[in-house]
């Protein structure tokens, strides 16, 4: 037996992880959201330990844009893999074959595993595997990873393919394109290894920067290749990248005609039937709004609240402080230390941890939606809406990820090739309420609006509206104008959520919340306690005399027009920049000893005595929309790659947060709280008109693109 390195490649949701698990026997998380398999996993084939299986990230193509694509491509071109198993979702085969053509072009022996045969058998679609194998020139095996069927045959064929000396048969495209590729191959000569020659030629034709960098071409080679590309573009009347995409789709379309029989095109399957309603042009949005309203209402204002009440009132309200207080007393710990532990750490960290039940309930709901396949539909539905305004649905995926945490959300924007769209997505993604903002939502909803069902869900819709409306306004500026990038999205078949997956998702997210409370929030609370109890001469003083009160007092007037211009509110918003949970931690510390106490909810009562409901809602909206925490700002900086763009993004977020909060408070205060119209209300009116203008005005003129005529002029005198 020989050592074999087998690369498992395929689209997200094709069943790669499931196949990997069956083949290796290792137990791993199986997700349903495109992009779950981000890192590379390895394992040994359970029936032969000499076969190492490498699970590559799920990808749709091998362009060099997203981290997943780069990881997959770098590994495939590293020379290590002996053979590729391309896992293909049989129920979505046309889409999946796009990647297949590229995998075959790597020159590495490839075996096609058509997965989900169990589903296919139940549907009216039939794939003729023999014909497909013949037309593609690679072995094809039907499998079902879920039912553990066909995998032995797959491994036999894989081993045979790895040891076969047959020449690779590449997909054949239009003769003009083929001519260009073989010209480039000639120009390349021995610059690329022979087996990779076609791969690199096609990539160079696409003007793939990564391939150009890897090959270290001479000036003459570069010039010749540029000429070949330009002349082919002229002949085929399209740009190079589009030519390649079209050629691949034409090839797949021919394959489809040859090998796929779809008897029941008009008979909708159950998933299709659900989709007819869920993704319906008119119903999709109301259904989505209803579902998200339910999710937030249930997790933050009903079921989750029960647990939170117990944690806040009983555990962190009496049990823990009483026990710790007695222990510290018995140990005769120095009074200032007791004060720090009880009123700093327990009050601050406890206030944050207290929201864990609501957070877990939210994550459980989101996990259920994701695992049953609904989340994928939302991206699809949003694409249709975004597109009307020149935005791409691709921007929506980072935003969905950001409901967990803004940092991976911002990072996920890498999958967007168009630079303007990517920048805009990076700028807007953190408007989504991430898990750290959840305690703020829960606090404001619980303390100020206990009998209303709309406050918590509204936070989600405020974030979403900020994204959509900002997107519309920004797209009309020079900085972001342009057509939306095409968005290909697979809609996995609906299925019942699996218990293990949802629990795992909830557990992972809750764990990182607790970890943060024990680290960043812990340290922040100590610091906040310290500067809220001492003055500049390090003397213990009352809170009003403290360093924090002084610093907060300096900036507080800035927030007065927003309805929360006291130093505590200002300080909470600023500490929130370290981590959004700090907003709650800070309130926990600052309002712990407030005079008013009511049913154990000291902090709530103290807050109610300090702010009006509209002021509190304005505070919530400000914290939702303003600059995210430092970690997310760091991610924004990494993705933007420039200080100027980072500052633009943060400036936009803070500016928008200020204006929206101003409008909410000024109008809300007058409408619901008997406030009088004053200068602030007028400023809010002007701000509102300004925002509407930017949303409704005409887009800027598009920069002219190069015309075919210009290209023809440039291309004069060149011949293939
Ligand atoms: P990956 O994203 O490519 O790693 O895909 P997963 O392994 O996570 O699978 C995506 C979804 O398809 C999961 O819900 C799996 O349970 C499901 N799945 C995978 N293989 C099969 C199969 O053979 N039949 C059916 N019916 N479902 C499958």
Is the CB–ligand 1 distance for residue 21 below 6 Å? no
Q: How far apart are CA 702 and CA 442, in angstroms?
A: 44
Q: How far apart are CA 20 and CA 43, in angstroms?
A: 8
Do 369 and 229 belong together in one domain?
no
- Cβ 262 vs Cβ 271: under 8 Å: no
Judgement on whether residues 137 and 207 belong to the same structural domain of the protein: no
| pLDDT of amino acid 427 | 93
Q: Does 556 map to a domain?
A: yes
101 has pLDDT over 90: yes
b or e along 60-91 (b: 16 or more beta carbons within 10 Å of the residue's beta carbon)?
bbbbbebebbbbbbebbbeeebbbbbbbbbbb
In angstroms, what is the span from residue 222 Cα to ligand 1's centroid?
A: 43
Work out the average pLDDT over 596-607: 63
Task: Work out the mean pLDDT of the chain and round it to a whole number.
Answer: 84
User: Which residue among 11, 13, 60 is best mutated to probe the pocket of ligand 1, counting the most ligand atoms within 8 A of its Cβ?
Assistant: 13
Give the C-alpha separation, 537 to 551, whole Å.
Answer: 15
Tell me whether residue 535 is in a domain: yes
d(CA 108, CA 8): 12
DSSP for residue 86: E
Q: Which atom of ligand 1 is nearest to the CA of 144?
A: 23
Q: Give CA separation, 395 vs 65, 201, 296, 427, in Å.
A: 14, 31, 23, 11
Total structural domains within the chain = 3
Write down the pLDDT at residue 709.
43
183: Cβ contacts below 8 Å, ≥ 6 apart: 228, 720
Confidence (pLDDT) at 388: 72
CA angle 96, 239, 233 (to 5 degrees): 120
Q: What is the pLDDT of residue 720?
A: 33
Domain end (from 558, 577, 601):
601
pLDDT(715) > 60: no
Judge whether 252 lies within some domain: yes
**Which of helix, strand or coil describes residue 578?**
coil
Contacts 24+ apart (CB under 8 A), 444-448: 444/616, 444/617, 444/619, 444/620, 445/300, 445/301, 446/301, 446/305, 446/308, 446/604, 447/601, 447/603, 447/604, 447/607, 447/608, 447/616, 448/607, 448/608, 448/611, 448/613, 448/616, 448/617
DSSP 520: I
Atom 13 of ligand 1: nearest residue by CA position: 32
> Which pLDDT belongs to residue 266?
45
Boundary residue ending a domain (214, 235, 262): 262
Select the highest-mean-pLDDT range: 280-284, 557-561, 589-593. 557-561
Query: What local confidence, expressed as pLDDT, does residue 8 receive?
Result: 94
CA of 121 to the centre of ligand 1 (A): 16
Residues 21 and 147 in one domain: yes
Does the C-beta of 30 come closer than 6 Å to ligand 1? yes
Minimum-distance ligand 1 atom for the alpha carbon of 143: 23
Residue nearest to atom 10 of ligand 1 (CA): 13
Residues 6+ away with beta carbon under 8 Å from 517:
349, 352, 353, 581
Ligand 1 centroid to 125 CA: how many Å? 18
* Residues in contact with 304: Cβ distance below 8 Å, sequence separation at least 6, in sequence order: 298, 357, 358, 359, 360, 361, 362, 442
Highest mean pLDDT pick, 297-311, 361-375, 474-488, 608-622 = 608-622
Closest CA to 6 of 64, 99, 16, 15: 16
Question: Is 127 in contact with 93 (CB distance < 8 Å)?
Answer: yes
Q: Is 590 inside any structural domain?
A: yes
Residue with tokens 């879920």: 146
- Three-class SS state of 50: strand
Question: Mutation test of ligand 1: which of 18, 495, 499 has the most ligand atoms closer than 8 Å to its C-beta?
Answer: 18
366 and 511 in a single domain? The answer is: yes
Cα angle 530, 534, 536; round to 5:
115
For residues 364 and 512, membership in a common domain is answered with: yes
Which of the two residues, 686 and 482, has the higher pLDDT score? 686
Residues 138, 227, single domain; the answer is no
Asked whether residue 126 falls in the same domain as residue 224, the answer is no
Name the residue among 171, 158, 18, 203 with its Cα closest to residue 98: 171
Nearest atom (ligand 1) to Cα of 18: 7
Percent of the chain surpassing pLDDT 70:
91
Give the confidence band of 38 by pLDDT, cuts at 50, 70, 90.
Answer: low
Residue 529 maps to a domain: yes
C-alpha 594/C-alpha 607 separation (Å) is 9
- Closest-CA residue to 248 (of 372, 367, 104): 104
Q: Is the pLDDT of residue 578 over 60?
A: yes
Residue 229: pLDDT band (50, 70, 90) is: very high
Highest mean pLDDT among 317-326, 396-405, 640-649: 640-649
Specify whether 197 is located in the same domain as 258. Answer: yes
Looking at residue 490, its pLDDT comes to 59
Sign of CA dihedral 629, 635, 638, 644: negative
* Six token digits for residue 34: 């495109």
Same domain? For 522 and 560 the reply is yes
534-565 residues labelled b (16+ CB within 10 A) or e (exposed): bbeeeeebebeebbbbeebeeebeebebbbbb
Q: Residue 39: what pLDDT?
A: 62
Instruction: Specify the pLDDT at position 707.
Output: 40
Choice from 91, 145, 370, 499 to test ligand 1 binding pocket (greatest atom count within 8 A of CB): 145
Nearest Cα residue to 417 out of 63, 109, 708 = 63
Q: Is residue 380 part of a domain?
A: no
The answer to whether position 425 is within a domain reads: no
Per-residue pLDDT at 390 exceeds 90: no
Q: How far apart are CA 601 and CA 587, in angstroms?
A: 12
- Comparing 559 with 36, which gets the higher pLDDT? 559
Give the span between the Cα atoms of 648 and 640, in whole angstroms.
10
Q: Are residues 186 and 207 in the same domain?
A: yes
For residue 269, pLDDT beyond 70:
no
- What per-residue confidence (pLDDT) applies to 9? 95
Question: 11 in a domain, yes or no?
Answer: yes
Is the CB of residue 629 less than 8 Å from the CB of residue 577?
yes
Host domain of residue 106: 4-163
On whether both 11 and 154 belong to a single domain, the answer is yes
Q: Residue 72 belongs to a domain with what CATH number? A: 3.40.50.300
Opening angle at CA 366, ends 360 and 370, nearest 5 = 140
Is the distance from the beta carbon of residue 58 to the nearest atom of ligand 1 less than 6 Å? yes
Of the candidates 601, 627, 651, which is a domain's last residue?
601
- Judgement on whether residues 157 and 202 belong to the same structural domain of the protein: no
Ligand 1 neighbourhood includes 119 CB (under 6 angstroms): yes
Q: What CATH number has the domain bearing residue 211?
A: 1.10.287.1770
């Amino acid at each position: 037996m020989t050592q074999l390195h087998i690369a498992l490649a395929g689209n997200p949701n094709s069943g790669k992880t499931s196949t990997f698990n069956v083949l290796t026997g290792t137990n791993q998380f199986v997700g349903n959201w495109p992009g779950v398999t981000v890192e590379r996993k390895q394992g040994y084939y359970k029936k032969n330990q000499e076969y190492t299986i490498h699970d590559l990230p799920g990808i749709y193509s091998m362009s060099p844009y997203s981290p997943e694509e780069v990881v997959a491509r770098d590994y495939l071109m590293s020379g290590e893999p002996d053979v590729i198993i391309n896992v293909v979702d049989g129920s979505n085969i046309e889409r999946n074959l796009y990647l297949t053509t590229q995998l075959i072009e790597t020159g590495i022996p490839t075996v096609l595993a058509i997965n989900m045969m169990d589903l296919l058998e139940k549907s009216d679609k039939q794939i003729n595997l023999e014909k497909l194998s013949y037309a593609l020139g690679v072995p094809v095996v039907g499998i079902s990873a879920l039912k553990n069927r066909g995998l032995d045959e797959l491994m036999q064929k894989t081993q045979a393919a790895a040891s076969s000396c047959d020449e690779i048969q590449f997909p054949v495209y239009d003769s003009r394109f083929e001519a260009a590729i073989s010209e480039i191959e000639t120009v390349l000569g021995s610059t690329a290894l022979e087996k990779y020659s076609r791969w690199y030629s096609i990539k160079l034709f696409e003007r793939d920067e990564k391939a150009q960098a890897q090959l270290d071409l001479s000036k003459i080679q570069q010039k010749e290749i540029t000429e070949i590309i330009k002349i082919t573009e002229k002949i085929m009347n399209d740009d190079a990248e589009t030519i390649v995409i079209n050629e691949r789709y034409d090839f797949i379309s021919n394959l489809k005609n040859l090998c796929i029989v779809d008897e029941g095109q008009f008979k909708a399957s159950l998933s299709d039937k659900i989709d007819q309603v869920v993704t319906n042009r008119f119903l999709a949005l109301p259904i989505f709004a209803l579902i998200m309203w339910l999710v937030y209402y249930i997790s933050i204002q009903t079921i989750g609240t029960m647990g939170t009440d117990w944690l806040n009132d009983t555990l962190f309200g009496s049990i823990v402080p009483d026990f710790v207080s007695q222990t510290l007393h018995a140990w005769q710990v120095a009074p200032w230390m007791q004060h720090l532990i009880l009123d700093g750490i327990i009050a601050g960290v406890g206030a944050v941890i207290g929201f864990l039940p609501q957070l877990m309930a939210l994550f459980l709901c989101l996990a259920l939606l994701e695992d049953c396949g609904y989340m994928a539909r939302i991206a699809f539905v949003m694409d249709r809406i975004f597109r009307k305004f020149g935005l791409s649905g691709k921007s929506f995926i980072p935003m969905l990820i950001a409901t967990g945490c803004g940092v991976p959300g911002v990072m996920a924007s890498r999958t967007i090739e168009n630079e303007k769209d990517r920048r805009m997505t990076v700028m807007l993604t953190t408007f989504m309420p991430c898990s750290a903002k959840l305690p703020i939502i829960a606090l404001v909803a619980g303390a100020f609006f206990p009998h209303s069902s709309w406050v918590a869900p509204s936070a989600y819709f405020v974030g979403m509206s900020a994204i959509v409306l900002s997107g519309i306004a920004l797209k009309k500026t020079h900085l972001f104008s342009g057509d939306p990038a095409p968005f290909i999205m697979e809609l996995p078949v609906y299925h019942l959520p699996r218990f293990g997956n949802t629990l795992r998702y909830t557990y992972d997210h809750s764990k990182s919340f607790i970890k943060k409370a024990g680290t960043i929030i812990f340290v922040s609370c100590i610091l906040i306690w310290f500067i809220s109890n001492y003055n500049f001469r390090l003397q213990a003083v009352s809170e009003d005399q403290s360093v924090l009160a002084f610093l907060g007092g300096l900036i507080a007037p800035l927030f007065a027009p927003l309805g929360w211009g006291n130093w505590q509110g200002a300080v909470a918003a600023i500490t929130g920049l370290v981590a959004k949970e700090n907003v709650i931690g800070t309130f926990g510390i600052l309002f712990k000893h407030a005079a008013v106490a009511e049913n154990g909810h000291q902090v709530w009562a103290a807050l109610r005595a300090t702010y009006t409901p509209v002021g509190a809602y304005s505070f919530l909206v400000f914290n939702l929309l303003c600059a995210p925490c430092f970690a997310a700002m760091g991610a924004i900086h990494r993705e933007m790659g420039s200080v100027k763009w980072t500052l633009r993004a943060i400036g936009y977020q803070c500016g928008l947060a200020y204006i929206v909060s101003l409008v909410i408070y000024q109008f809300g205060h007058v409408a619901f709280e008997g406030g009088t119209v004053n200068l602030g209300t007028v400023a809010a009116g002007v701000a509102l008109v300004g925002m509407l203008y930017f949303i409704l005005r005409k887009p800027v003129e598009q920069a002219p693109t190069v015309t075919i005529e210009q290209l023809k002029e440039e291309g004069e005198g060149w011949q293939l």
